[in-house]
Amino acid sequence: MKKITTSLVAGMTVLSLAAPAFAMENGTRETTDNAPKTSTEISMNKDVICNGSKIAEIEKSIAEKSVDSQNKMDGNRAEHDAKLEKARADKDAKIQQNRSQRDLKGFKNDQQNAAVTAFRASVDAALATRRAAIDSALSAYRSTMDTLVSARKAAMQSALDTLKSTVCSSTATTVDKTAMTTFRSAMKAARQTYQDGRKAARETLATTTKAAFAAFQDAVKAAEQTKKEALKAASTVPATATAVTQS
Protein backbone atom coordinates (compact mmCIF):
# COMPACT_ATOMS: atom_id res chain seq x y z
CA MET A 1 0.00 0.00 0.00
CA LYS A 2 1.70 3.16 -1.25
CA LYS A 3 1.38 6.82 -0.26
CA ILE A 4 1.60 10.00 -2.24
CA THR A 5 3.71 12.02 0.16
CA THR A 6 4.57 15.63 -0.56
CA SER A 7 6.45 18.04 1.65
CA LEU A 8 4.99 21.52 1.38
CA VAL A 9 7.51 22.88 3.86
CA ALA A 10 10.52 20.69 4.52
CA GLY A 11 10.54 19.27 8.03
CA MET A 12 7.24 20.95 8.98
CA THR A 13 4.26 19.58 7.08
CA VAL A 14 3.63 16.32 5.25
CA LEU A 15 0.46 15.61 3.32
CA SER A 16 -0.37 12.02 2.47
CA LEU A 17 -2.79 11.77 -0.42
CA ALA A 18 -4.56 8.52 -1.06
CA ALA A 19 -4.22 6.82 -4.44
CA PRO A 20 -7.32 5.19 -5.94
CA ALA A 21 -7.65 1.54 -5.17
CA PHE A 22 -7.61 -1.47 -7.44
CA ALA A 23 -9.91 -4.49 -7.21
CA MET A 24 -9.44 -8.20 -7.64
CA GLU A 25 -12.74 -10.07 -8.02
CA ASN A 26 -13.67 -13.53 -6.91
CA GLY A 27 -12.07 -13.63 -3.50
CA THR A 28 -11.90 -9.95 -4.06
CA ARG A 29 -9.36 -7.78 -2.31
CA GLU A 30 -8.96 -4.07 -2.88
CA THR A 31 -6.10 -2.08 -1.46
CA THR A 32 -6.21 1.61 -0.62
CA ASP A 33 -3.77 4.18 0.66
CA ASN A 34 -3.89 5.93 4.00
CA ALA A 35 -5.81 9.14 4.57
CA PRO A 36 -3.87 12.39 5.05
CA LYS A 37 -2.32 12.98 8.44
CA THR A 38 -4.26 15.25 10.77
CA SER A 39 -1.66 17.11 12.78
CA THR A 40 -2.98 20.42 14.15
CA GLU A 41 0.47 22.03 14.15
CA ILE A 42 0.43 23.72 10.74
CA SER A 43 2.52 26.64 9.56
CA MET A 44 3.25 26.88 5.85
CA ASN A 45 4.48 29.51 3.49
CA LYS A 46 1.69 30.55 1.14
CA ASP A 47 4.11 31.01 -1.73
CA VAL A 48 4.98 27.30 -1.65
CA ILE A 49 1.36 26.40 -2.46
CA CYS A 50 0.46 29.19 -4.84
CA ASN A 51 3.70 29.66 -6.74
CA GLY A 52 5.69 26.53 -6.08
CA SER A 53 5.63 23.15 -7.79
CA LYS A 54 4.38 21.01 -4.91
CA ILE A 55 0.70 21.20 -5.78
CA ALA A 56 1.44 20.29 -9.39
CA GLU A 57 3.44 17.32 -8.17
CA ILE A 58 0.54 16.16 -6.03
CA GLU A 59 -1.90 16.53 -8.93
CA LYS A 60 0.42 14.55 -11.20
CA SER A 61 0.74 11.82 -8.60
CA ILE A 62 -3.02 11.57 -8.18
CA ALA A 63 -3.50 11.20 -11.93
CA GLU A 64 -0.67 8.68 -12.35
CA LYS A 65 -1.81 6.58 -9.42
CA SER A 66 -5.34 6.56 -10.76
CA VAL A 67 -4.20 5.28 -14.16
CA ASP A 68 -1.93 2.71 -12.54
CA SER A 69 -4.71 1.49 -10.28
CA GLN A 70 -7.13 1.13 -13.19
CA ASN A 71 -4.55 -0.80 -15.20
CA LYS A 72 -4.00 -3.18 -12.31
CA MET A 73 -7.72 -3.59 -11.84
CA ASP A 74 -8.18 -4.38 -15.54
CA GLY A 75 -5.32 -6.85 -15.45
CA ASN A 76 -6.72 -8.65 -12.43
CA ARG A 77 -10.13 -8.86 -14.06
CA ALA A 78 -8.71 -10.32 -17.27
CA GLU A 79 -6.82 -12.94 -15.28
CA HIS A 80 -9.93 -13.80 -13.27
CA ASP A 81 -12.09 -14.09 -16.38
CA ALA A 82 -9.61 -16.42 -18.04
CA LYS A 83 -9.57 -18.69 -14.99
CA LEU A 84 -13.35 -18.63 -14.74
CA GLU A 85 -13.76 -19.50 -18.41
CA LYS A 86 -11.36 -22.45 -18.05
CA ALA A 87 -13.08 -23.67 -14.88
CA ARG A 88 -16.45 -23.63 -16.62
CA ALA A 89 -15.08 -25.42 -19.68
CA ASP A 90 -13.54 -28.09 -17.45
CA LYS A 91 -16.82 -28.47 -15.58
CA ASP A 92 -18.79 -28.86 -18.83
CA ALA A 93 -16.33 -31.46 -20.10
CA LYS A 94 -16.65 -33.42 -16.84
CA ILE A 95 -20.44 -33.35 -17.02
CA GLN A 96 -20.37 -34.56 -20.61
CA GLN A 97 -17.94 -37.33 -19.72
CA ASN A 98 -20.16 -38.55 -16.90
CA ARG A 99 -23.19 -38.53 -19.16
CA SER A 100 -21.39 -40.45 -21.89
CA GLN A 101 -20.34 -43.08 -19.38
CA ARG A 102 -23.93 -43.37 -18.20
CA ASP A 103 -25.21 -43.69 -21.76
CA LEU A 104 -22.96 -46.66 -22.39
CA LYS A 105 -25.03 -48.63 -19.90
CA GLY A 106 -28.11 -48.10 -22.02
CA PHE A 107 -31.69 -47.53 -20.88
CA LYS A 108 -34.39 -50.04 -20.11
CA ASN A 109 -37.21 -48.22 -21.85
CA ASP A 110 -38.41 -44.93 -23.30
CA GLN A 111 -39.69 -43.78 -19.92
CA GLN A 112 -36.28 -44.21 -18.32
CA ASN A 113 -34.72 -42.46 -21.29
CA ALA A 114 -37.14 -39.55 -20.95
CA ALA A 115 -36.54 -39.27 -17.19
CA VAL A 116 -32.79 -38.99 -17.63
CA THR A 117 -33.12 -36.58 -20.55
CA ALA A 118 -35.47 -34.32 -18.57
CA PHE A 119 -33.13 -34.36 -15.58
CA ARG A 120 -30.18 -33.33 -17.71
CA ALA A 121 -32.14 -30.52 -19.32
CA SER A 122 -33.14 -29.23 -15.87
CA VAL A 123 -29.54 -29.31 -14.65
CA ASP A 124 -28.29 -27.54 -17.78
CA ALA A 125 -30.92 -24.81 -17.38
CA ALA A 126 -30.12 -24.36 -13.69
CA LEU A 127 -26.40 -24.17 -14.42
CA ALA A 128 -26.93 -21.59 -17.15
CA THR A 129 -29.10 -19.52 -14.80
CA ARG A 130 -26.49 -19.67 -12.06
CA ARG A 131 -23.71 -18.59 -14.36
CA ALA A 132 -25.76 -15.74 -15.76
CA ALA A 133 -26.59 -14.51 -12.26
CA ILE A 134 -22.96 -14.61 -11.20
CA ASP A 135 -21.80 -12.86 -14.38
CA SER A 136 -24.39 -10.14 -13.85
CA ALA A 137 -23.40 -9.68 -10.21
CA LEU A 138 -19.72 -9.51 -11.09
CA SER A 139 -20.37 -6.99 -13.84
CA ALA A 140 -22.36 -4.81 -11.45
CA TYR A 141 -19.62 -5.08 -8.83
CA ARG A 142 -16.96 -4.01 -11.29
CA SER A 143 -19.05 -1.11 -12.50
CA THR A 144 -19.54 0.03 -8.92
CA MET A 145 -15.82 -0.21 -8.20
CA ASP A 146 -14.99 1.81 -11.32
CA THR A 147 -17.42 4.50 -10.21
CA LEU A 148 -16.01 4.53 -6.68
CA VAL A 149 -12.43 4.87 -7.89
CA SER A 150 -13.34 7.71 -10.25
CA ALA A 151 -15.40 9.48 -7.59
CA ARG A 152 -12.60 9.19 -5.08
CA LYS A 153 -10.10 10.68 -7.50
CA ALA A 154 -12.50 13.53 -8.28
CA ALA A 155 -13.08 14.19 -4.58
CA MET A 156 -9.34 14.29 -3.91
CA GLN A 157 -8.80 16.74 -6.75
CA SER A 158 -11.72 18.87 -5.59
CA ALA A 159 -10.27 19.04 -2.09
CA LEU A 160 -6.93 20.11 -3.50
CA ASP A 161 -8.55 22.71 -5.76
CA THR A 162 -10.47 24.14 -2.83
CA LEU A 163 -7.30 24.38 -0.77
CA LYS A 164 -5.50 26.21 -3.57
CA SER A 165 -8.39 28.58 -4.14
CA THR A 166 -8.80 29.38 -0.48
CA VAL A 167 -5.11 29.89 0.24
CA CYS A 168 -4.16 31.75 -2.91
CA SER A 169 -7.01 34.24 -2.65
CA SER A 170 -5.96 35.13 0.87
CA THR A 171 -3.66 38.03 1.69
CA ALA A 172 -2.05 36.10 4.53
CA THR A 173 1.53 34.89 4.14
CA THR A 174 0.89 31.60 5.88
CA VAL A 175 -1.67 28.93 5.21
CA ASP A 176 -4.76 29.27 7.35
CA LYS A 177 -5.29 26.33 9.72
CA THR A 178 -8.97 26.22 8.88
CA ALA A 179 -8.23 25.79 5.19
CA MET A 180 -5.85 22.93 5.91
CA THR A 181 -8.29 21.30 8.31
CA THR A 182 -11.02 21.52 5.67
CA PHE A 183 -8.67 19.96 3.14
CA ARG A 184 -7.76 17.08 5.39
CA SER A 185 -11.39 16.49 6.34
CA ALA A 186 -12.37 16.35 2.68
CA MET A 187 -9.57 13.88 1.96
CA LYS A 188 -10.64 11.72 4.87
CA ALA A 189 -14.28 11.85 3.74
CA ALA A 190 -13.28 10.82 0.20
CA ARG A 191 -11.41 7.84 1.57
CA GLN A 192 -14.27 6.84 3.87
CA THR A 193 -16.85 7.13 1.12
CA TYR A 194 -14.75 4.86 -1.05
CA GLN A 195 -14.31 2.30 1.72
CA ASP A 196 -18.02 2.31 2.59
CA GLY A 197 -18.97 1.88 -1.05
CA ARG A 198 -16.45 -0.90 -1.53
CA LYS A 199 -17.75 -2.73 1.54
CA ALA A 200 -21.33 -2.46 0.32
CA ALA A 201 -20.32 -3.66 -3.17
CA ARG A 202 -18.51 -6.66 -1.70
CA GLU A 203 -21.50 -7.58 0.42
CA THR A 204 -23.86 -7.30 -2.53
CA LEU A 205 -21.61 -9.48 -4.68
CA ALA A 206 -21.29 -12.10 -1.95
CA THR A 207 -25.03 -12.13 -1.27
CA THR A 208 -25.96 -12.43 -4.93
CA THR A 209 -23.41 -15.17 -5.54
CA LYS A 210 -24.58 -17.13 -2.51
CA ALA A 211 -28.20 -16.82 -3.66
CA ALA A 212 -27.27 -18.02 -7.16
CA PHE A 213 -25.60 -21.14 -5.81
CA ALA A 214 -28.47 -21.82 -3.42
CA ALA A 215 -31.01 -21.53 -6.25
CA PHE A 216 -28.92 -23.89 -8.36
CA GLN A 217 -28.75 -26.47 -5.59
CA ASP A 218 -32.49 -26.25 -5.01
CA ALA A 219 -33.15 -26.71 -8.73
CA VAL A 220 -30.88 -29.75 -8.95
CA LYS A 221 -32.43 -31.25 -5.83
CA ALA A 222 -35.90 -30.85 -7.30
CA ALA A 223 -34.75 -32.34 -10.61
CA GLU A 224 -33.23 -35.29 -8.76
CA GLN A 225 -36.51 -35.95 -6.98
CA THR A 226 -38.46 -35.75 -10.23
CA LYS A 227 -36.02 -38.12 -11.91
CA LYS A 228 -36.20 -40.54 -9.01
CA GLU A 229 -39.97 -40.69 -9.19
CA ALA A 230 -39.92 -41.06 -12.98
CA LEU A 231 -37.38 -43.85 -12.86
CA LYS A 232 -39.42 -45.64 -10.24
CA ALA A 233 -42.46 -45.50 -12.49
CA ALA A 234 -40.35 -46.56 -15.48
CA SER A 235 -39.13 -49.67 -13.67
CA THR A 236 -42.53 -51.33 -14.22
CA VAL A 237 -42.58 -50.62 -17.98
CA PRO A 238 -41.32 -53.30 -20.42
CA ALA A 239 -37.84 -52.79 -21.89
CA THR A 240 -37.56 -51.00 -25.24
CA ALA A 241 -33.75 -50.69 -25.42
CA THR A 242 -33.73 -46.97 -26.23
CA ALA A 243 -30.57 -44.91 -25.68
CA VAL A 244 -30.32 -41.24 -24.81
CA THR A 245 -28.72 -39.19 -27.58
CA GLN A 246 -26.48 -36.32 -26.45
CA SER A 247 -25.80 -33.25 -28.58
Residue 132 lies in a domain: yes
Q: Read off the amino acid at residue 130.
A: R
Report the phi/psi class of residue 26: left, alpha or beta, with left for phi > 0 and alpha for psi in -120 to 50: left
Residue 246 lies in a domain: no
Which residues constitute the domain of residue 17? 4-100+108-234
CA angle, 130 then 200 then 192, to 5°: 155
Residue 203 lies in a domain: yes
Which residues face 4 on adjacent strands? 17
pLDDT tens series, the chain, 247 aa: 333 333 323 222 323 332 232 233 333 444 444 434 333 333 356 777 777 777 788 788 878 878 887 888 889 999 999 999 999 999 999 999 999 998 888 888 889 999 999 999 999 999 999 999 999 999 999 999 999 999 999 999 999 899 888 888 777 766 777 888 898 899 899 989 999 999 999 999 999 999 999 999 999 999 999 999 999 998 888 776 444 444 3
Residue 23 lies in a domain: yes
Report whether 152 contacts 193 (CB < 8 A).
Answer: yes
Residue 134 lies in a domain: yes
- Cβ-proximal residues to 95 (8 Å cutoff; 6+ apart), any chain: 123
Q: In total, how many domains does the chain have?
A: 1
Report whether 195 contacts 87 (CB < 8 A).
Answer: no
pTM: 0.73
Residue 150 lies in a domain: yes
Residue 245 lies in a domain: no
Residue 21 lies in a domain: yes
